[in-house]
Amino acid sequence: MLKGIHPLLGPELLHAIRTMGHGDEIVIADANFPSSTMGPKVVRADGVGAPGILEAILAHMPLDTFVDESAWRMEVVGDATAVPDICVTFQGLVKKLAGDFTVVPIERFAFYERARRAAYIVATTEFQLYGNIILKKGVVRPEELFRVDSD
């Protein structure tokens, strides 16, 4: 345990988000996602749901404000207008923790292609279907850095 670090950020996931740079992407994947065959390094988050990992990451990692889109979810196959409950949860967490970003739906195979280019995939034990989200890392500004008071 560390002070000020979300308790769901294990050592591997903390390392992953710490080594990512501006514009790098990370996938939070549900239990059905083909994480091991996508290509990027997989960080296991067994026993944890996708919303918990999303909250843990966004507690420490900003989203990219230099582009139009910084968060994506997978569209429901056969009904592109459907918004699963878990995706409503994702949108609420993004708005609460990252600001006025829209979690943009993208077609299943386009989501897979984007996931293949990610820096990391976090494999969760999320059982809700379509419990997948991709985040683009933003810039950490100097005023957001930890500082020890000098008094």
Reported pTM? 0.94
Q: Which residue among the candidates 22, 79, 100, 151 is catalytic per the annotation?
A: 22
| Per-residue pLDDT at 150 | 67
Say whether 6 is catalytic: no
Residue spans per domain, the chain: 23-139
Q: What's the fold here for domain 23-139?
A: RbsD-like fold (3.40.1650)
| Per-residue pLDDT at 149 | 72
Provide DSSP, 67-132: SS--EEEEPPTT-TT---HHHHHHHHHHHHHH-S---EEE-HHHHHHHHHTSSEEEEE---STT--
What's the Cα-to-Cα distance from 83 to each of 2, 15, 50, rounded to whole Å?
Answer: 36, 32, 16
Asked if the model's pLDDT at residue 40 lies above 90, the reply is no
Q: Which residue among the candidates 15, 24, 100, 112 is catalytic per the annotation?
A: 112
> Angle CA(64)–CA(29)–CA(76) in degrees, nearest 5?
90
- For 91-117, write each residue's pLDDT tens digit: 999 999 999 999 999 999 999 999 999
Q: Which residue among the candidates 64, 68, 100, 149 is catalytic per the annotation?
A: 64
Say whether 130 is catalytic: no
